[in-house]
Structure 1
Amino acid sequence: MPSAEPSFKRIVNEISARIKSGELAPGEKLPSTSQLATQYNVSTGTVYRALSLLHDRDLILGQPGRGTYVADRSDK
């Protein structure tokens, strides 16, 4: 039975957990939007929504033309 949780929330929760556990380290580059869309079997719009929430929570940083990286939260 499919999860009732919206896809973008599942992505946010999974990436957040990986960051908090240290699996994704500060400064580590995340896969591209299209790679994440393929990985989670969702549209790129869903990935953008998830990344926007992660950015709002100061968990990731976008660098135009370079990619999206895990934020350094050591001073927070």
Structure 2
Amino acid sequence: MPYEQAEYRRIADGIAGQIKSGELKAHDKLPSTAELADKNHVSLATINRAFGLLHDRGLVYGKQGKGVFVAETG
């Protein structure tokens, strides 16, 4: 598995874990792509892929110009 692919999955899985544990709750705003990229030492594209994976899993939703938020689950 290429390094970038492993990184976006690792980041997505970490955020998914925070959602499932209740640390992040429905409608909580996630940090910006820039903040997460800096914190994880990856590119913005990697964070966007992680957000895309979380969106595909139904765990987050985006609001244009506002950010990415935790979706209501279950």
SS at match of 1:11: helix
How far is 1:39 from its partner? Answer: 1.0
Q: Which residue of 1 aligns with 2:51?
A: 51
Counterpart of 1:19 in structure 2 is 19
CA RMSD in angstroms comes to 1.4
* Counterpart position of 1:39: 39
**For this pair of structures, how many residues does the alignment match?**
71
More helix by percentage = 2
Post-superposition shift, 1:30? 0.2
Larger radius of gyration: 1
Secondary structure in structure 1 of the residue aligned to 2:69: strand
Structure 1 segments of 4+ aligned residues over 4 angstroms from their partners: none
Q: Deviations over 1:15-43 (max 9, x none)?
A: 00000000001010000000010111100
Identity of aligned residues (%): 45
What runs of 5+ residues in structure 1 fail to find an aligned partner?
none
Instruction: Give the 3-state SS of the residue equivalent to 2:53 in structure 1.
Output: helix
Name the structure 1 match of 2:66.
66
CA–CA separation in structure 1 for the residues paired with 2:70 and 2:43: 22
